[in-house]
């Protein structure tokens, strides 16, 4: 499995910008939507740990695990967030040897193929009252020319790898 934008410092900086923009709102939405106590939370495709830290704050979980395939991103995550557990693994093929109360992913499914199989795998990792929280795009409307060009480039790049930037609009037919 390969991350569309690579496993580099530039890619990590890109993920930091995304996290700085999306994390505050995601944290509030997650926190306000949870009904049960979260003991164990997982962040799928955690990258450098920015979303893992947000999940920890939002859920107040006793144990927080970030899972990613990139050893480079995981090294950054472990250095920045030593209180969390980080595991190198392929999030599309996880074994159900650990159960979670909460599983989160943001902008990960848009980079993957066979989403139905991935989600089925993740559901086996949830406790009986567990929550799978998926944060993906259905689309973006803008009239800012440079942002339109950026979106078009991303969409084409991701599509060239057999995935879909706007997977959010298809999730209701997959789940």
Which residues of the chain are under the pLDDT cut of 50?
A: none
**pLDDT at 165 (0 to 100):** 85
Contact between 7 and 73 (Cβ < 8 Å)? yes
Which residue has tokens 């994390």?
23
Query: How high is the pLDDT of residue 166?
Result: 87
Q: C-alpha 76: how far from its chain's center?
A: 16
The answer to whether the CB of 103 falls within 8 A of the CB of 123 is no
Q: For residue 5, give both structure tokens.
A: 């934008």
**pLDDT at residue number 7:** 78
- Tokens, residue 126: 């949830």
Q: What's the pLDDT at 4?
A: 66
Q: Give this prediction's pTM.
A: 0.90
């Amino acid at each position: 499995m390969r991350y569309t934008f690579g496993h580099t410092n530039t890619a990590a900086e890109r993920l930091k910008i995304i996290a700085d923009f999306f994390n505050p709102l995601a944290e509030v939405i997650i926190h306000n939507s949870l009904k049960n106590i979260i003991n164990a939370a997982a962040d799928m495709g955690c990258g450098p740990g920015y979303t893992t830290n947000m999940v920890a704050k939002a859920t107040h979980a006793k144990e927080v695990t970030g899972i990613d395939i990139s050893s480079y991103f995981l090294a950054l995550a472990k250095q920045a967030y030593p209180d969390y557990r980080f595991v190198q693994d392929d999030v599309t093929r996880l074994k159900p040897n650990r159960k979670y109360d909460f599983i989160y992913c943001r902008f990960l499914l848009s980079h993957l193929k066979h989403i139905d199989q991935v989600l089925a795998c993740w559901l086996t990792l949830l406790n009986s009252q567990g929550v799978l929280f998926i944060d993906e795009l259905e689309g973006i409307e803008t009239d800012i020319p440079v942002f339109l060009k950026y979106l078009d480039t991303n969409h084409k790049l991701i599509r060239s790898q057999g995935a879909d930037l706007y997977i959010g609009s298809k999730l209701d037919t997959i789940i």
